[in-house]
Each structure stands twice: as structure tokens, then as C-alpha cells.
Amino acid sequence: MTGQTAIVVGAGAWGLPTAAQLALRGHQVTLVDRYGVANELSSSPGPTRVWRHADTTPVLCRLGLRSVGAMDRLAERSGVETYRKVGVLWRDADPSRLLATLREEDVEHVEVDAADVGRWLPGLTPNERPAVWTPLGGCVLAAHSMAAQAQLFNGAGGRLLKDEVVGIDASSGTVELRESGRLVADTVVVAPGPGAVALLPMLDVDLPLVPHLEQVVHFGSPDDPHRYDDVPCLFEGAYGASPGFYSMPTPGLGFKIGLDAQVRDWTPDDLDRTPSEQRTRETAVEAERLGFITDPVLDAQVCSWTDSPDGLFVIDRVGRVVLACGDSGAGFKFSALMGEILAGLAEGDEPDADVASLGLDRFDGPIAPQRRSGHFL
Ligand SMILES: Cc1cc2nc3c(=O)[nH]c(=O)nc-3n(C[C@H](O)[C@H](O)[C@H](O)COP(=O)(O)OP(=O)(O)OC[C@H]3O[C@@H](n4cnc5c(N)ncnc54)[C@H](O)[C@@H]3O)c2cc1C
């Protein structure tokens, strides 16, 4: 199938790569976003995200491994460096479930004794908890990868329209825009991040999504901006009163830490992304405990993610619409892969078993929460 018309709603980490893929495959693509590519109100701004192939959920492990190829294809095609393979150290009270999944899915890893963590992450203060080292993985250069996708999208003749979607008819492929009126296409991809809360009812999909606002904080010194470039990513599971955190180097800037706890619920009219000073202080306490961060706070950023009822993504087809939402805080590492998967579905491909397992029919019966959010169990 080539030369079809496609509308992609949402220019975030899932929608933009899909639009780029469809344009590269010869389709006429209109990408619609009310605020533009990876905007500050979306889930996708900022320079970096953790990129890992270790997960307690087997399907996310498998998709993580598949994302390596997609990320490499993006880098090769665009000539842009899109990730840094610095490895990920995951420290937790009981990593047995993680280890079981890594063995089952054949993900390269090393079990690390509590006292030995400094061998894998130099300078990290040991505590009583063991860790798991996964060499494949590191940080996605998120802003670079979005720029690479935008370059491919523009180069392939894609059109970006800044407008708000206020209606969708899945049977006819019609999208109503607030300013520009009505667009019709052979296929529509809807990847609206937290905007799914308003758009799902238009598709007759009744799914309780819960978007949150979360905060990350950079530590570093402008005098030595490359100090943390090669430091591995670190996951620290919840302990005591701490919710745990995820952390990563942002090359050329510093080291980034995000506590695994929301700043507040996301609501559609709340456009304030001012960082919480209290959250910054709490994050600084964690940073100090680690031992290898001695620099002060550089900056902080608030952005959104959207939990699905079971903490896994929602990918399905509804009439002429391909729907992708419920990123559950773990979606950026899959962005290049997601572009390939969603573009394939938009072209009429049947989902493979892993993608099919993320479909809407899993919510037909009682919903079993499998994960608390995208980052940890
Ligand atoms: C603090 C934080 C840390 C994170 N850490 C990681 C990490 O370490 N690793 C990882 O893999 N992931 C991480 N994530 C998650 C990752 O960033 C998201 O999963 C990903 O960005 C989701 O992208 P998206 O395209 O689904 O949504 P979005 O980026 O929200 O894009 C959706 C777009 O749709 C547009 N839109 C919505 N409704 C409408 C409408 N009606 N009309 C027009 N446009 C509309 C919006 O303007 C938006 O631009 C983190 C997220 C946050 C917030």
C-alpha cells in the first residue's frame, strides 16, 4: 500500500515517528498537534530518557530488545546519534522477578552483590541491596531523536498542522479540527498522550486512563558539563519512605534524577509546568545519598505521563483509526519502534502477538493491575 492519505494526531514520541514512517513509505501525511512537536505540555520534551531492555514484564522486555534495531535504523537513516549505550544498574530489595524475566527473555545481565555496585557505577555508595547490571541500554537522546524524526518527516514531504482535534469519526476517517475544519483520510493514527482522556469517548472507547504530572531534576556544573556523560543509568527501587527513582546522564549537561512519584494529577486546564521546589529538595536528598553526585541542582522540568489501568500500553485498531495511548511513563524508549509498528498497523498489517497483547480486548473482563506505573513493578 502506497500513496494513501493519513492523519496522525499527536506529535509526541509516538505520533511523530509514526508520521515520519508513513511519509517515508510514500503516504500523504498530515500530522496534527495543538502545540507542536514534543511541546512543553506533552509527555515528550526534554533532552534524555532511560533506555532499558530490562523489565519485569516479558512483553516490554521483548519490545525493548526490538527497539534496538529501530533506534539503529533511525540513527542510520538520519545521521543523528539517538542513544548512548552506557548500561543500566537496577538496585532493589528483591530483584528476583526482574532476574526471572531477564533469564526467560535472554537479556544479557550480571547479578551484582550489594557491596560491588561501585564496580559497575563508579562512586555509587553501596547499601544493603543487591543490583542487576544490564549492559545493553543507557539513555535515549530524546530531543535528538525527535529532531531526527522531524527531519525525516519533513524530508519525506509530511505536513504539520497546529490545531486541536475536537472530533473523530472512526468509521469514515474524519477528523474535526477547531480552526481548520474537517480532514478526511484513508487512515488515522491517534497518539495523543494525556489528550486521550478527551479523545477516547469519540472512538466509543471507555477506558479509565490516569495522566499525572511528574518531575525530573538535573544536577551538574556548567564548568564541567561532560562529567556525567559516561555514567550508567541507575534505577533505585522504593525503600523506606523513598518512592525510589530513575536516573541517567544527560550528555553535555549533567545527571538527571526523577523520583517515582507524581507531583500532582494532570488535568486538561492545568497548563502550569513550574517545577515543585519541594520535589526538587526531595530529589537533592536522594542525589546526595548516591555518593557520585557532588554538583548542585541545575534545572528541573515537569511533564506528563498517562497510566493505563494495568500499566501497559494500549495499541489497537478502531475502524479506520489506529489508537496508541496509556504510555504509563515508559514510552520514549520505544518511540522509534512504535513509529514502525503503528505505521504498519495503519497500512493494514496484522499485529504480531506482542502488539496484539496490548489491545483493548484485554480490558473486557476484570482488569488485573500488573504494574504500578511504567518504571518499577
Ligand atoms: C518525567 C518523565 C520521565 C519519563 N522518563 C522516561 C524514561 O526514563 N524512559 C522512557 O522510556 N519513558 C519515559 N517517560 C515517558 C515518555 O516520555 C512518554 O511515554 C512519551 O513521551 C509518550 O509520548 P506520546 O507521544 O504518547 O505522548 P505526548 O508526548 O503527550 O504526545 C501527545 C501529543 O498529542 C497532542 N494532542 C493531544 N490531544 C490533542 C488534540 N485533541 N488535538 C491536537 N493535538 C493533541 C499533544 O499536544 C501532544 O503533543 C517519562 C515521562 C515523564 C513525564
Per domain, the residue ranges of the chain are 5-45+144-207+309-363, 86-138+210-307
- State in Å: Cα 192 to ligand 1 middle: 8
Q: For residue range 117-164, list pLDDT tens digits in order.
A: 999 999 999 999 999 999 999 999 999 999 999 999 999 999 999 999
Confidence (pLDDT) at 33 = 98
Q: What is the rounded average pLDDT of the residues 224-238?
A: 97
Measured from the Cα of 333, ligand 1's closest atom is 11
- State in Å: Cα 43 to ligand 1 middle: 3
Q: For residue range 17-46, list pLDDT tens digits in order.
A: 999 999 999 999 999 999 999 999 999 999
Confidence (pLDDT) at 92 = 96
H or E element in which residue 47 lies: none
Q: What is the rounded average pLDDT of the residues 199-223?
A: 96
- State in Å: Cα 189 to ligand 1 middle: 15
H or E element in which residue 142 lies: helix 142-155
Confidence (pLDDT) at 1 = 64
Measured from the Cα of 177, ligand 1's closest atom is 42
Its sign, for the CA torsion 88, 89, 93, 99, is positive
The answer to whether residues 271 and 42 touch, using CB atoms and an 8 Å cutoff, is no
Measured from the Cα of 10, ligand 1's closest atom is 34
Strands 131-134 and 110-112: antiparallel
Nearest CA to ligand 1 atom 33: 10
The answer to whether residues 219 and 255 touch, using CB atoms and an 8 Å cutoff, is yes
**In whole angstroms, how far apart are CA 138 and each of 20, 124, 227, 285?**
24, 17, 16, 24
Nearest CA to ligand 1 atom 38: 195
Confidence (pLDDT) at 374 = 46
- Name the superfamily (CATH) of residues 86-138+210-307: D-Amino Acid Oxidase, subunit A, domain 2 (3.30.9.10)
Statement: residue 368 has pLDDT above 80: no
Confidence (pLDDT) at 34 = 98
Confidence (pLDDT) at 158 = 98
Matching residue, cell 493514527: 189
Confidence (pLDDT) at 313 = 97
The residues lining ligand 1, judged by C-beta closer than 6 Å to any ligand atom, are 9-15, 32-35, 39, 42-44, 49-50, 164-165, 191-195, 199, 214, 216, 246, 258, 303-305, 327, 329-333
- Name the superfamily (CATH) of residues 5-45+144-207+309-363: FAD/NAD(P)-binding domain (3.50.50.60)
Confidence (pLDDT) at 377 = 37
Q: Mean pLDDT for the chain?
A: 95
Confidence (pLDDT) at 293 = 98
- State in Å: Cα 322 to ligand 1 middle: 17
Statement: residue 366 has pLDDT above 80: no
Instruction: State how far the Cα of 252 lies from the Cα of 224, in Å rounded to an integer.
Output: 8
Single pTM value for the model: 0.97
Confidence (pLDDT) at 305 = 95
